[in-house]
Amino acid sequence: MKTANGLADQEIFDAHLASQSASGAPEWWLDLKRESWRRFRKLPMPMRKDENWRFASLGGVKLDGYELGDSSPPEIADKEVLKRSENVRQRAGRLVFSNDRLMDSEAISEEWAKKGVIWLPLEQAVREHEDLLRKHFMAQPIKLGSEKFSELHGALCSAGSFLYVPKGVEVDLPLVAFHWTDRNNAALFPHTLLIADDMAKVTLVDFFSAHDRSSRNFICGVNDLYAGPGARVTYISAQDWGRDSLAFHLNSTQAFKDAFITSLNVNVGGRQARNESHSQVLGEGAHTQMQSLTVATGKQEFDQRTLQTHFKGRSVSDLLYKNALLDDARTIFSGLIKVEEDAQQTDAYQTNRNLLLSPTAESNSLPGLEILANDVKCSHGATSGQIDDEQLHYMRARGIPEPVAKQLLVFGFFEDILGKLENEEIAENLRTLIRSQF
Amino acid sequence: MSKQLEIKNLSVTVETTEILKDLSLTLPRGEVHAIMGPNGTGKSTLAKALAGHPDYEITSGEVLLDGENILEMEVDERARAGLFMAFQYPSEIPGVSIANFLRAAKQARLAEGEDLDATGFYKTLYEKMDMLHIDRKFTSRAINEGFSGGEKKRNEILQMAMLEPKYAIMDETDSGLDIDALRIVSEGVNKLRGPECGILLITHYQRILEYIVPDHVHVMWNGRIVKSGGKDLAIELENKGYDWIKEEFAEPAAKA
Amino acid sequence: MSETTTPELDIKTDIGNFVYPEKHKYDAGKGLSEHTIDYMCEVKEEPDWIREFRMNALQTFREKPMPTHWASSDLNAIDFDKIRYYLAGDQKPSRSWDDVPDDVKQTFERLGIPESERKFLAGVEAQFDSEAAYSNIKEIASKQGVIFVGSTEGLKEHPEIFRKWFGKVIPTGDNKFSALNSAVFSGGSFIYVPPGVKVSHPLQAYFRINAQNFGQFERTLIIADEGSEVTYMEGCTAPKFDTATLHSAVVELVALKGAKIQYITVQNWSDNVFNLVTKRGLAHEDAEIRWIDCNIGSRLTMKYPGVILKGRRARGEVLSIALANDGQHQDTGAKMVHAADETSSNIISKSISVGKGRATYRGLVNMPKHLKGCKNNTECDALLINTNSRTDTYPAITARGDHNSVQHEASVSKVSAEQIFYMRQRGMSEGQAMSLAVNGFINDLARHFPMEYSVELKRLIDLEMEGSVG
C-alpha cells in the first residue's frame, strides 16, 4: 500500500485511471476523467474573498494526506458491513460500498426490471448505458463554489449508484445505497445519478457513514437528480462521516414541467461538511422542495450553500433548512433564490432556522434573493434563537423536568420535516440518527 | 341629451367563453333597477364589463352614458364620467388610508391646476361617515385592509357618497352581510337615491330589495335579460325560485 | 390625523435639472495627488495633524482595491483622474438669511422647498458645493451650548472635542471610499450637544453638487453627550450633467450614555451620480441611534448605515426607503454590530424598482460570543413595478451567545392588477393609482419622517412614478 501526499498528485490520478482501465471501463469514460483532471489542476483552491466561501473556515480545506479509498481492501468483513446495511428492510434494491469498493449489489426485483427500471453500480452502468451516462453524468453547472472539488470528483469517482426509471413507471419501494468507510485517510467519491422519465415515480436513499466515529476521511460526493415532465422524485441522504473528516456533497436537481422533487439531507457527521444544492426549475408547474436537518456538535462546521433558479414561471420552490447547534459548533447557511426574467408567477420560499443550544455555538445566515420578474411570490426568513422560554415554562408547569422538556422541544424542532415523510421506516432511521447526537 | 345609461346589444367574452349575449337594458337617472338571477348567469360580468375590467372583452354592442359611448374610455375615464361600481370583493390596498384615497379620487375629478379644498373635503367626509355609521377613526385606516365584510361594503357606499356618481352599479353588495349591516348599507343607498343618480342593483336574493325598493326588476339568465317587471317580480322569484325561469328560457336546442 | 394638514404640492418635472454659472475661486484642478492635499490644506489653513491624516488616508486609498468582488462592477466606471477634489465658493460662511447669495436662494426655490419649511431654514446649515454657504444656529440651541458648525471650523475651533472622536467610528481604512473621503474631505457639519440638552428643532443641512466632474466629500461628525438628544436632517438633489459625478461622504455619530441621535436623509441625486457613502454610529450605554435614510436617483448608490452597539442596552435602528428607476442601482442596507449585553437593533428596509431599475438590500448583523439578551429584527420588503424590474437581497447574519435572537424576513411583491383596477374605477389615472400604491407601500416607514420630509418624499415618488406604467 502506497501513501500519497495529496489528492492533487498526478500519480494518484494515473493509478486510478490504470485501475479503471483494467476493470474494463470504456475509453470515452476515461477521456471524461482526463478532462476533469485537467480542469481540476487548473482551477484554484477557494480563497477568502470568494463570496461563495464567506464565513467558511478555509484552513482545513486541504487535499493533503489522503489516499484513494479503493486502493486496498476493506478491513471489516463483508458480512458485518452487510449486516449494518439492513436498516431499510422494505426496499426495491440495494447497493453497498465500502471505501468506494462495491460490496454487494442487490438487483432490482424482476417486477421493475421487466418494466425497464435500471438499478446498477455506476461502473457497470458506464459499460452498459453509455447514452444515458453521456447525457446526464456531471452535466449540470456547479455554481456554488466547489467547481474544483466537482472536477476532482469527476476525475476520481468510480463508486456509486445509477437509477433510471422509464416513462410512466412508478417504483413504490425505495432504492437504497450505503457508502461506508473503515479506513483512516481514505478519500471517497460516492456518486448518485437518478433519472426519472416522464410521469415516473421513485425514491432513493443514500446512507453515508464511517464505522469508526473518529475517522479522518476526505469525501467528495455528487448526486444529480433529473425529474422529467410530471415525474415525482424523492431523494433522502443521511450523512454520518467520521468526526475528523472533510466532506463535500454537491447536489443538483432538474425539475421539468409539472415535476415534483423533494430532497432531504440529514447531516450529523464530519469535522467540516459542506453541502451545495442547486435546484433548477426548468418547466412550468414544476415544484421542488429542498430540506435539510443538521445537528452540529463539538467543533463541527456545517456549510450549506443553496441556489433555487427559476427559469420558467408558474412554478414553486420551497426550501427549509433547520440546524440545531451545540457546544462550539458553527453553521453557515447561504441561500439564493434567483427568478430569471419572464419567469412570472413563480412562488419561491426559503427559510433557515437555527436553534442555538449553547452560548458558544455560532450560526451564520445569508439568505439571498435575486428577482428579475415582478409577478412573483418570494420570501425568505432566517431566525436564530434559543428554546422558547414560554414553551419550556409551559411544559415544566405540567410537571415535565427541564432536561426532558428541552429534549422534547429539540426533537420537536425536526419533526415538522420528519413527521411528514411518507416512509415511516426511513423516518425512524433518521430520528435515531439525530437523537443519537444528544 | 337623454339622462340615462343605455346598454345596447352587449356581448362580452371572458377567456374565449361568451358570458353576455346581446344584452340590452336602459337605466334612467333617478331610478333603481334590480338585476336578479341565479349564480353564474353573468350578473357580475355585466358589472365588471361596464366598469371596464381588462379581462372582459366586449365583442359587440354599445353602452351610452347620457348619450356618450363609454366603451372607448379607459376605466378611470368612465369613473370620472360618472360611473361608479361598488365591488363585490373590494381590493385591499395596504398603507393607503381611506382619507388619502378619497382625496386622490376627488382631486382626479378637478380641472388641472385646481386644488381640492381640504377643509370642505373633510367636512363632507365626516358628514357622510356619520350618515353611514362609520367611525371617524376609519379615515386613517388602510383601504379595506383587515376590514370585515360589512365594513368593506360600508366603505364602498361611503366612496359612492363621496364621489357622487350619475350611475352606480352595485355588485352583490348584500352578499356576506348580516341583517344589521344590510340595513345600514341599505339606508345609505336610500339616502343617495335621488333624481341625479341611477342605481343598478345586482343581487341574488330578494332580501335587499325589501330595504331598497326597486322601480324595476330584471331577471337575467344565461347572459341575457329574460324578464322585466315591477317590484313584485322579485317577490315572485323569491317564492318560486329560479327553476321556472331556467325551464322557460332554456336554450332552444335543449328545449326541443 | 396627519392627512388633514398635508399641503398639496405642485409637481415640477424639471426639478433638479438646472445649472447655475460656476464661479469658484479655489479649484484644486483634476486628479488626486499629494499636491492636491497640500493645496487644500493651505487654502483651508488647516493644522498639521490634519495634513498628516489626509496624506495617510491618500496612501490607504491607493492601496485598497475596488470592492468589486462583492459590489457592482459599475464602480470601475469611476475615473478618479477626471474628478476635481476640491472646489470652494468665495462665500464665507454667513450668519443671516440676507447674506445668502441669491443664486443659492434661487436653488432652494427651484427645489420647491415649501414655504412652511423655509421657517426652518433660519436654523439651517446649508452647503453649496464644498463650503458652508449659509450657516446659522437657532438662537435657542446656541444658548444651550450646542455647537453646530462646518467640519473645517469644528476641527480648528473645537479640537479638544473634534480630535477625540474624528475618524474613530469610521477608521480611514474602513473601505476604499472612506479612505478617499479622509484624504480630501471638506464641508459637512460638526455638531456637539452638551450633556442633558435636548435640541427641540431638527438641525438641517441642504447641499447639492453644482460643478461638472466635481466630487463632493463632505464629512460630518455629531457627538451627543450624556443624556442629550438631537435630530439632524439632510436633503440633497443634484442637477444633471453629462459626465459622472462622485459623491462620497463620511458621517460619524457618537451617542454617549443615554443620548439619542436621529439622522434623517432624503436624497435625490441625478442619475449620473455615484453616491458612495459610509455612515456609522457608536451607541454607548442606554444610547439610541436611528438612521432614517431615503435614497432616490443616482446611477449607483452604495450606503449601509450602521450602528455599533457598544454599551449595555444600547439601541440601533435603520429605516430605509430606496427607489430605483431605469438605469439606477440602489445598493443600500444596514449594519448592526452588537458589542454589549441586552443591546437591540431593528432594520426595516423598503425598496421600489421601476422599469429596469435595480434595488439591492445588503445587510450585516453580528452578535458575537459571550453576549446575553441581544435582539435583532430585520424586515426587507421589495416592490417591483414593471415586468423586468429587479430586486436583490443579500443579508449576512451571525448569531452566537446566550439568549440572543435574530429574525430576518424579506418579501417581494408587486402592485396587483386588481388594486390598480379598483383605484381606476374610482377615477384615478393609472399613474396616479400606481403612485398611490407605492406611497402606501412605504407609508408605515414614511410616518417616521418629519412632516415636511414626508411631503418632499411623496413628491419625489410622484415624480419618479410618472410614466412608469403604460
Could you read off the pLDDT of A99-112 as tens digits, one per residue? 999 999 999 988 89
The nearest alpha carbon in chain C to B98 belongs to C3
Calculate mean pLDDT across residues A131-148. Answer: 94
CA neighbor of B65 nearest in space, from B11, B39, B29: B29
Q: Are residues A275 and A397 in the same domain?
A: no
For chain B, which domains are there? 4-255 (3.40.50.300)
Q: Is C411 domain-assigned?
A: no
Q: Does B251 score more than 80 pLDDT?
A: no
Judging contact as 3 or more Cβ pairs under 8 Å, the answer for B and C is yes
- C470 has a pLDDT exceeding 70: no
pLDDT of residue A196: 98
Find the CB nearest A368 among C382, C393, C398: C393
Average pLDDT value for chain A: 93
Pair (C185, C57) in one structural domain: yes
The ipTM value here is: 0.84
Do A29 and A159 lie in one domain? The reply is: yes
* Residues A252 and A401 placed together within one structural domain of the fold: no
Option in B52, B90, B118 nearest C4 (CB): B118
Number of domains into which chain C is organized: 2
Substitution target from C365, C394, C402 for chain A, most A beta carbons within 10 A: C394
Which stretches of C238-357 are assigned E, i.e. beta strand? 245-247, 250-255, 260-269, 273-283, 288-297, 300-303, 306-309, 315-324, 329-338, 344-353
Cβ(C109)–Cβ(C191) below 8 Å: no
pTM above 0.90, yes or no: no
Distance from CA of C448 to the nearest CA of B (A): 14
Beta strands in C83-130 (DSSP E): 87-89, 125-128
Task: Tell me the mean pLDDT in the region A299-305.
Answer: 98
Interface test with C, best of B56, B88, B91 (most C CBs within 10 A): B91
The domain tally of chain A equals 2
Supply the pLDDT for residue C387: 87
* Percent of chain C whose pLDDT exceeds 90: 53
Residue C333 lies in a domain: no
Grouping H, G, I as helix, E, B as strand and the rest as coil, residue C232 is: strand
Q: Are residues A393 and A276 in the same domain?
A: no
Answer whether residue C356 is part of any domain: no
Report the distance separating Cα C150 and Cα C125, nearest Å: 8
How much is the pLDDT for C406?
A: 95
Residue C346, domain member (yes or no):
no
Q: Which of C242, C270, C303 is the last residue of a domain?
A: C303
* Interface contact flag, C404 A384, Cβ < 8 Å: yes
- Residue among B187, B96, B210 nearest B133 (CA): B187
Helix (H/G/I), strand (E/B), else coil: A184? coil
| pLDDT beyond 90 at A394 | no
Same structural domain, A264 and A122: yes
CB interface of B with C, residues 217-236, below 8 Å:
none
Domain membership of residue A321 (yes or no) is: no
Of C3, C425, C430, the CB nearest to B79: C425
**Tens digit of each residue's pLDDT (9 = 90 or more) over A60-92:** 999 999 998 876 666 677 788 888 899 999 999
Do C126 and C267 reside in the same domain of the chain?
Answer: yes
Which range, of A209-213, C104-108, C283-287, averages the lowest pLDDT?
A: C104-108
Provide the shortest C-alpha distance from residue C444 to chain B (in Å). Answer: 7
Is B85 an 8 Å CB contact of chain C?
Answer: yes
CB contact under 8 A, A383 and C408: yes
Across C354-377, average pLDDT: 93
Q: How much is the pLDDT for A236? A: 98
Q: Quote the CA–CA distance of A45 and A38 in Å, as a whole number.
A: 14
pLDDT tens, position by position, B8-30: 999 999 988 999 999 999 999 99
| Alpha-carbon span A253 to A242, nearest angstrom | 27
User: Distance, in angstroms, between C353 CA and closest chain A CA?
Assistant: 9
Does A167 lie in the same domain as A45? yes
Identify the residue whose cell numbers are 331598497.
B212
The shortest CB-CB distance from C437 to any of B84, B85, B93 is to: B93
C373 part of a folded domain:
no
Report residue B255's pLDDT band, with 50, 70 and 90 as the boundaries.
Answer: very low
Among A50, A362, A380, the residue with its CB nearest the CB of C410 is A380
B110 touches chain C (CB under 8 A): no
Average pLDDT over residues B205-227: 92
Residue C128 CA to residue B235 CA, distance in Å, equals 77
Contact C70 A361 (CB under 8 A): no
Measure CB to CB from residue C432 to each of B53, B97, B104 and give the nearest one: B104
The rounded distance, in Å, linking the Cα atoms of B109 and B166 is: 14
Give the model's pLDDT for residue C293: 93
Sequence-separated (6 or more) residues with CB below 8 Å from residue B178: B150
Mean pLDDT of A39-61: 94
Asked whether residue A410 falls in the same domain as residue A262, the answer is: no
**Res. A38: pLDDT tops 50:** yes
Q: Which helix (H) or strand (E) holds B21?
A: strand B17-28
CB contact under 8 A, A383 and C370: no
- pLDDT for the residue C100: 53
Same domain for A410 and A267, yes or no, is: no
Q: Same domain for A67 and A197? A: yes
Residue C382 lies in a domain: no
Q: Which residues pair with C414 in a beta bridge?
A: C384
In terms of domains, do A116 and A264 share one?
Answer: yes
Q: Do B115 and C8 touch (CB under 8 A)?
A: yes
Residue where a domain stops, chosen among A282, A306, A325: A282
Boundary of a domain, candidates A228, A259, A282: A282
Domain boundary among C273, C303, C333: C303
CA–CA distance, A146 with C193 (Å, rounded to integer)? 53
Residue C465 parent element (H or E): helix C451-465
A111 in a structural domain: yes
- The reply to whether A51 and A186 lie within a common domain is yes
Subunits close to C (at least 3 CB pairs below 8 A): A, B
What residues make up the domain containing A97?
Answer: 10-282
CB B222 within 8 A of CB B249: yes
- Residue A334 in any domain: the answer is no
Q: What contacts B50, CB < 8 A, 6 or more positions away?
A: B7, B63, B70, B78, B83, B85, B169
| Domain encompassing residue C451 | 423-470
Tell me which of A259, A282, A305 is where a domain ends: A282
Inspect the interface and report whether the beta carbons of C407 and A368 lie closer than 8 Å: no
Question: Scanning every residue of chain B, which has its alpha carbon at the shortest distance from the alpha carbon of C445?
Answer: B95
Q: What mean pLDDT do residues C38-51 have? A: 91
Tell me the chain A residues in contact with residue C401 when contact means C-beta distances shorter than 8 Å. 356, 359
Residues of chain C with Cβ-Cβ distance to B142 below 8 Å are 440, 443
Instruction: Flag whether C347 is in a domain.
Output: no
Domain boundary among C303, C337, C366: C303
